[in-house]
Chains A and B, each alone.
Chain A
Amino acid sequence: MGYQNVLRFPDGFFGWKSFFSDNTQSVDTIKKLGIGDVFPSCRLVMLYDETDRAYLKIQSLQKSFALEDIGNPYLYIVIYNEKCLACVDEVQSFKALYKSLNESLYLSDKVKLLAIGAGSKKRGVIAFKKENAIPYPLFADENRSIFYCLGNPVLPTSYLVHIQPDGRRQILFVQQDHINNVEMLIQKIYSLVKDMELPK
């Protein structure tokens, strides 16, 4: 395009904020949902009927389902977008987490991992799943309604959600940064689930 003096600031917004937080500005602030908040109610559409239905233990044969229809009391929900570089980089960690959850005698029947593509179209989700050989279920949040209800989190963000007997979806844990150690995350999930399962 002919511009001669093009520079890149590789530290990015977060780098700048850590150096000079006074030299930033914002247009608006939306409350991001966190620990103790209720995960938004949503209906997701099955893209891989049989495998997803079996993994999530969904009894209903309808094409769409609500999180409360899932037959497991805990969900690890990843919010991502296939065009986000950090989300693509983090796929390997989520695959390792999925594997560890399935191999855990205690957690495999309690916690299921699924991912929701914020602003992703169904065909985009299918292509992303195929390209990255993702074994866990992926769903599309085409109009970003779930994403907005969560308070526009930085992608990828993941939530450990407890589906309570009355159907309320309580957030137990939020993971926003890069997962440095999957084993430590599994331990965290294990201790949170164990605490919730203690008789009150």
Chain B
Amino acid sequence: MQITTFSFKRLLIYPVILIILLVLGFTVTAEKQPAWFQQAQDEAEQDGYKLITAHEMKALYESGENFTIIDVRPEYEFREGHILHANSLEFDLGDKLELKSDKQAALIGLLGSDKKQTIIFYCRSVA
């Protein structure tokens, strides 16, 4: 009888520990995201693309997988410093409304015909 009670108590402790870990884990993850992240996430969902974190991108670099990375800042900023192997193609606010044919051609020229490749865009930062 004593053994049964002991096992029952132990069984109760595991879910409690699990819940505490989940709550703590969620809190820590939530605190890691900067204030602008939710806005970036909303924009991504609205415009049909996904976000990539710095560590995911680092892993992608290390995996040796082929991908195209595009720096959309002005060329003079790109020349002063950019992420390794990035290509420069400046986009501004007007391009969000309408992508002109010359820029569209430049983008296609850069990306090529492989529609399944991974393409990463970045600017200065959304912060």
Contact = CB atoms under 8 A, between A and B. Distances in A.
Contacts of A2: 115
Contacts of A60: none
A154 B78 CA distance: 11
B80 A29 contact: yes
Contact-residue size bin, chain B (C-beta under 8 Å from the other chain): 35 or more
Interface string A83-125: 1111010000000000000000000000000000000000000
A2 B81 CA distance: 30
Interface in A131-167: 152, 154
B80 A5 contact: no
A23 interface: yes
Given A26-B79, A26-B80, A13 B73 contact: yes
A4 B78 CA distance: 26
Given A10-B51, A11-B54, A16-B83, A4 B124 contact: no
Interface string B68-106: 000101001111111110000000111000000000100
B120 A15 contact: no
Most chain-B Cβ atoms within 10 A of its Cβ — which of A13, A16, A20, A26?
A: A13
Interface in A13-28: 13-17, 19-20, 23-28
Contacts of A10: 36-37, 40, 51, 122, 125-126
Contacts of B80: 26-30, 152
Contacts of A12: 122-127
B51 to A, nearest CB: 6
A24 B122 contact: no
B115 A7 contact: no
Contact of A8 (B78, B82, B122): B122
B9 interface: no
A6 B123 contact: no
Contacts of B18: none
A23 B115 contact: no
Contacts of A29: 80
Given A3-B111, A20-B58, A8 B44 contact: yes
Contacts of A15: 54, 125, 127
Contacts of B124: 12-14, 86, 154
B107 interface: yes
A85 B55 CA distance: 26
B117 A5 contact: yes
20 contacts: A5-B116, A5-B118, A6-B49, A6-B121, A7-B50, A7-B118, A9-B122, A11-B53, A11-B125, A12-B126, A13-B82, A13-B125, A14-B124, A14-B125, A16-B122, A23-B61, A23-B84, A24-B81, A24-B83, A84-B92
**A-B interface, 10 closest residue pairs, ranked by CB to CB distance from nearest:** A12-B125, A83-B92, A9-B122, A27-B79, A10-B40, A6-B49, A26-B81, A7-B52, A19-B54, A152-B76
